[in-house]
Structure formats: C-alpha cells, structure tokens
C-alpha cells in the first residue's frame, strides 16, 4: 500500500488522524516511533533548522530534500507543507509531480501572497492572493497528480488575515469545487471557538484539518465532536529540541566537567539503537560466542535469510578455501542469526519454510514485535496480532522475550541453535525502544 493511500484510509477509518511535526529524518522517525499517524514536514521548522525565518527564503529544493528524507526514513505518511506553492500554477504542477514521485503522501498549499510570513508572527503580513488565483493553483495540482490518493490540502488563511468568517467559508467552498481533497482552516485565536464556528457553518464534504498551536487547551474529544478529521501538532518537536539544547549548552559552557551537567540527555546506546545498530540482545548473542560471527547488512529480509543460510552451507576453512556442508560443519559452521521486524518475517515465510523445514538449516530469528499493543503502521498492526500463531503454524519453536530476565531467553535460543535447531525470539517493541 502506498503512503498516500494509507493516509486516505486513515482519514476514512479513524475518528481523528494525529499528525506531528518533524524537521529532519531523526525527528520524523521519532514521531513514527511514538505512534503518530503521519508526519508534518512544516516550513516553519525546516526553515528554523537552516537558521532562517519562515518567510519563503528557502527554495522548493531545500524543503523537498527535507520532506523526502523524512519519507525515506518513515513508513508512515509524510505531509509536506509547501507554503504558497513556490510560484504560480506551472510551479505547482512541477512541484506536485516531484513530491508525488518521492512517495510523499500529501501537500498543503496556502492562499497567501509570495513571499509569505509565518501566520503566527506578531504583526506579520498575511495578505491573501485572490480566490481565482488560488483556485488556478488547486486545479494545476489536481491535474498534475497521477495517484488519486495523493492528497491536496487547501489551507485557508482568511481567519488569519482578518478577512473574516464569510470569506473563509466562501474560499473553502471554491477550493473544494476546484479539486482540493481536504481543507485546513487556520486560526491564531487563543481559544477554538472561531474554528468550531467555521466547522459548524461549513457545508462542504471535505475533511477538515486544524493546527491548534495557539488554542492548545482544546481537547481531542472536542475536535472529534466537531467532526474535525485531522489535528497537526506542527512545531512542538522543534521547540522542544531548541529548549533542550539551549539548556544543556548553557550548563556545559559554565561547567568544569561534563559530569556536572544535570540536563537529561539520551545515552550513546539510545542513539545506537535508534539508528539501527543491533540492540543489546543481539550484542549478547555475539558476546556469548556465536561461532565465527560477522554482522552483514541486507536491504531485504529474504536477502538476510539467504546470506545466513549461505554462511552455514559454504564456509571458509582454516586454509581460506570454501568447503561444502559436510562432516566438518560442526567445527566450522557459522551460527546464523537474522534480525528483522514482524512484517518482514511475514514477507519471508516461503523462504523460511524452505530453508528451515525442508533443508533444515538452523538459524535464530530475532523478531521485533511491532503493532501488538501499540499503534503502528498497518502492516505491523496486522502481522503483530498473529505473530505467535504464525510461528506455531511454521512449527518454529519460539519464545517471547522475558523482559525481567532477557538473558535467560537468549540462552534458550543459543542452546537450540547449538543443537542444530531453528527458533524465534520475539522481542516486544517497548523492550527494544
């Protein structure tokens, strides 16, 4: 399923879609890990990472690079904040084609003049282009997209500019008629009453999206009761990062030793695990003497399993010559361990069945158990619910990692592989995180 289609299905199936802002690949991945439905690649946050104002200073290329990096890193949809579209209808058409090809799920266009200023900037300029001009951009975007699931969000800034409620409603209707897929209604009021009034008066059929940065006391239940389908927490991750770095830098410059710094920071192991270095369970297997251990990285699960099988069947002898699987296998065999997520395991069932059951090549499967007790990508949610039963159907011995005595679970797997048997160790996601 494409990420664009995933976003549409979320909008159709969930009471409200929760989206959080990211400004680079790491922040976007954290948004995904903590269970949000999608990532908002916001222009304010991305501009701030370049230390420039949110005022149309960066080019489309710089915003696109940031959003595409997030898309490559995450399995959840990315919604790109494309400001005013980087020009006229022709620019919008080019932009839509480029963003859609990159796998970005949706774009947001706003009806302000270029260059724009941030909508929440005190005394900022928030003049609107004409309704006709913005309709032309929406039509260009609609005609340019190839995937009908690619979502075009029309961001109505009439309430921000002071043009009033009637103008906001009139423009939203015009944008729906032009082919927009959703309406983002923006407000800088301290309470949500203005937004609720718009929604109550709105007679259109498109999903409504809000960004409650200024009216942050609004409850999710209130948004749902007013039939708002998506909420975007646009800039909190950026502000948290800025605040945390500011605090620790202030302490570091005045400290005699790093041990004097009281600000809580992530450990090196936290970062190693986050970026994909094998977690502590994998390290334990290596430390416990997996024979002739080597860590090899494969881009797909089937490739990883094939490599693991190859390391058992054809191995280097002490004379550096390849030897076939024979009576020396017990002496020179490599203990094979494959680390994957549960959806990856499901994708590899045919390969696993052949190598483990038919050819009886022993290996340990370390399976990250995602989607069982927490919100996750659809593929992990579905497989996560049946993971133990799936292993049972394959006659593969398995154990859910004992969180209180995880080394005992690892020792169980090591014992089996040294007896020439395959097994699976299921690691709950919360333990890996």
Q: What digits encode the pLDDT tens for the residues 86-122?
A: 999 999 999 999 999 999 999 999 999 998 888 887 7
Q: Give percent of the chain with pLDDT exceeding 70.
A: 82
pLDDT computed for residue 16 by the predictor: 98
SS3 assignment, position 128: strand
Look at 377 and 362; give whichever has higher pLDDT.
Answer: 362
Look at 316 and 247; give whichever has higher pLDDT.
Answer: 247
pLDDT computed for residue 154 by the predictor: 98
- pLDDT category at 235 given cuts 50, 70, 90 is very high
**How many whole angstroms separate alpha carbon 372 and alpha carbon 385?**
5
**How many whole angstroms separate alpha carbon 419 and alpha carbon 3?**
43
pLDDT computed for residue 362 by the predictor: 82
Query: Of the segments 233-247, 295-309, 343-357, which one has the largest average pLDDT value?
Result: 233-247
**How many whole angstroms separate alpha carbon 18 and alpha carbon 23?**
17
**How many whole angstroms separate alpha carbon 11 and alpha carbon 16?**
7
Q: Is 240 exposed, middle or buried (0-12, 13-18, 19+ CB in 10 A)?
A: exposed
pLDDT computed for residue 354 by the predictor: 81
What are φ and ψ of residue 97, in 5° steps?
Answer: -60, -40
Architecture of domain 3-234: Alpha-Beta Barrel (3.20)
pLDDT computed for residue 273 by the predictor: 62
Average pLDDT over residues 204-231: 97
Q: What digits encode the pLDDT tens for the residues 373-393?
A: 555 666 667 777 788 888 888
User: DSSP character for 184?
Assistant: E
Mean pLDDT check: name the lowest of 196-205, 209-218, 266-275.
266-275
Q: What digits encode the pLDDT tens for the residues 46-97?
A: 999 999 999 989 999 999 999 999 999 898 999 999 999 999 999 999 999 9
How much helix, strand and coil, in percent to the nearest 5, is found in the chain? 45, 15, 35
pLDDT computed for residue 426 by the predictor: 84
Q: What digits encode the pLDDT tens for the residues 4-17?
A: 999 999 999 999 99
Q: Give percent of the chain with pLDDT exceeding 90.
A: 53
- Please tell me whether the overall predicted TM-score, pTM, comes out greater than 0.85 for this model: no
pLDDT computed for residue 299 by the predictor: 53
User: DSSP character for 386?
Assistant: H
The DSSP element (H or E) to which 107 belongs, if any, is strand 106-110
The answer to whether residue 199 scores a pLDDT higher than 70 is yes
pLDDT computed for residue 332 by the predictor: 44
pLDDT computed for residue 376 by the predictor: 60
User: DSSP character for 357?
Assistant: I
Mean pLDDT check: name the lowest of 344-358, 360-374, 404-418.
360-374
**How many whole angstroms separate alpha carbon 33 and alpha carbon 24?**
14
Enzyme catalytic residues: 54
Average pLDDT over residues 226-244: 97
3-234 against 271-432: fold identical:
no
Average pLDDT over residues 125-150: 96
pLDDT computed for residue 418 by the predictor: 81
The answer to whether residue 136 scores a pLDDT higher than 80 is yes
Domain ranges of the chain: 3-234, 271-432
Q: What digits encode the pLDDT tens for the residues 403-414?
A: 667 778 888 888
- CATH T-level topology, domain 271-432: Rossmann fold (3.40.50)
The answer to whether residue 187 scores a pLDDT higher than 90 is yes
pLDDT computed for residue 197 by the predictor: 97
What is the overall mean pLDDT for the chain? 85
Mean pLDDT check: name the lowest of 16-25, 40-49, 177-186, 342-351.
342-351
């Amino acid at each position: 399923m494409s990420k664009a289609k995933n976003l549409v299905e979320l909008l159709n199936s969930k009471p409200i879609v929760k989206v959080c802002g990211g400004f680079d690949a790491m922040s976007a991945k954290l948004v995904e890990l903590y269970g949000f439905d999608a990532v908002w690649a916001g222009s304010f946050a991305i501009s701030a990472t370049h230390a420039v104002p949110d005022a149309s200073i960066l080019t489309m290329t710089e915003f696109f690079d940031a959003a595409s990096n997030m898309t490559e890193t995450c399995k959840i949809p990315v919604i790109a904040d494309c400001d005013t579209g980087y020009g006229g209808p022709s620019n919008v058409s080019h932009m839509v084609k480029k963003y859609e090809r990159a796998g970005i799920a949706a774009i947001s266009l706003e009806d302000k003049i270029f260059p724009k200023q941030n909508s929440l900037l005190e005394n900022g300029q928030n003049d609107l282009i004409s309704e006709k001009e913005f309709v032309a951009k929406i039509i260009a975007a609609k005609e340019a997209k190839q995937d009908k699931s690619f979502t075009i969000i029309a961001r109505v800034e009439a309430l921000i500019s002071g043009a009033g409620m009637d103008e906001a409603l009139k423009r939203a209707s015009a944008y729906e008629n032009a082919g927009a897929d959703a309406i983002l209604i923006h407000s800088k009021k301290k309470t949500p009453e203005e937004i609720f009034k718009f929604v109550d008066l709105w007679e259109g059929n498109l999903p409504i999206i809000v960004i409650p940065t200024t009216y942050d006391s609004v409850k999710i239940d209130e948004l749902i009761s007013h039939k708002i389908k998506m909420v975007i927490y646009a800039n909190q991750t950026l502000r948290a990062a800025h605040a945390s770095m500011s605090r620790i830098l202030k302490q570091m410059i005045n400290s005699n030793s790093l041990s004097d710094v009281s600000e809580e920071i992530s450990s090196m192991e936290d970062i190693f695990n986050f970026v994909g270095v094998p977690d502590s369970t994998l390290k334990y297997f290596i430390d416990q003497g997996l024979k002739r251990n080597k860590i090899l990285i494969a881009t797909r699960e089937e490739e990883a399993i094939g490599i693991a099988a190859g390391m058992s069947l054809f191995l280097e002898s002490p004379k550096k010559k390849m030897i076939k699987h024979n009576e020396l296998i017990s002496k020179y065999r490599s203990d094979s361990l494959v680390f994957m997520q549960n959806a990856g395991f499901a994708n590899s069932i045919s390969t696993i069945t052949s190598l483990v059951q038919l050819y009886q090549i022993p290996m340990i499967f370390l399976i990250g158990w995602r989607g069982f007790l927490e919100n996750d990508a659809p593929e992990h949610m579905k497989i996560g619910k049946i993971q133990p039963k799936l292993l049972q159907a394959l006659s593969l011995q398995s154990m859910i990692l004992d969180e209180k005595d995880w080394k005992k679970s690892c020792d169980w797997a090591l014992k089996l592989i040294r007896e020439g048997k395959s097994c699976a160790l299921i690691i709950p996601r919360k333990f890996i995180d």
